[in-house]
Amino acid sequence: MFSITEQTATLAHINVRTERHGEEPAGAADLKVQYAAGNGTLSEFHPRLRHALYKAEEDPQQGSVDGVKPEPTVRVFGDLIEKIRLKHELVGAKVLIGFGLGGSSDIELDPADVDGFSLELMEGGTVITTFRVKCHPSGEQIKKLYEVLGNEITISITPAVEKQGSLGLNLEPEAA
């Protein structure tokens, strides 16, 4: 399941809007976040996605070290696939954006929905990941988000499943 911890990214866009919660309007926002990382990120979405889209160089100019496989850095389909969209959604995730000195000044958006994933495949093994965070920030949080708009941010996303934790109960029937 997709999660990131203290990833350097860019807050590319903010769309402030209202939603209806019953009869009452409620403030909401969509954040567009983008970051570049190695193609190992693809495994966060599906264990085989990385090797479906990238392969190791067939004739490496540098000799490989014994026992170490070369990394998959060549796009399998060349320029045929530029960008792919993923049908992946995290509902109720915790999104933490570093701000100021950190700690209490950070922007915590909890719960938030993370979706709209698109992956731009680059030669050399870099993947540019773009996604949307749907959230309900306070007025103070909107001000902070506006201050970092277009700049580098540090973002962490914890899926709801990991955020919730385990009760430590063993619900599996025991063997007799």
Residue 108 lies in a domain: yes
Question: What per-residue confidence (pLDDT) applies to 67?
Answer: 62
CA contacts within 13 A on the Cβ side of 57: 12
Domain count, the chain: 1
Question: What per-residue confidence (pLDDT) applies to 173?
Answer: 56
pLDDT tens readout for residues 9-63 = 999 999 999 998 888 888 999 999 999 999 999 999 999 999 999 999 887 665 5
Mean per-residue pLDDT, 153-175: 70
Residue with tokens 């389909």: 77
Residue 173 lies in a domain: no
Mean per-residue pLDDT, 152-165: 83
Mean per-residue pLDDT, 160-173: 58
Residue 168 lies in a domain: no
Q: Whole domain around residue 144: which residue ranges? A: 4-56+71-158
Residue 165 lies in a domain: no
Residue 175 lies in a domain: no
Query: pLDDT grade, residue 65 (50/70/90)?
Result: low
Task: Give dist(CA 106, CA 10) in Å, integer.
Answer: 16
Question: What per-residue confidence (pLDDT) applies to 163?
Answer: 56
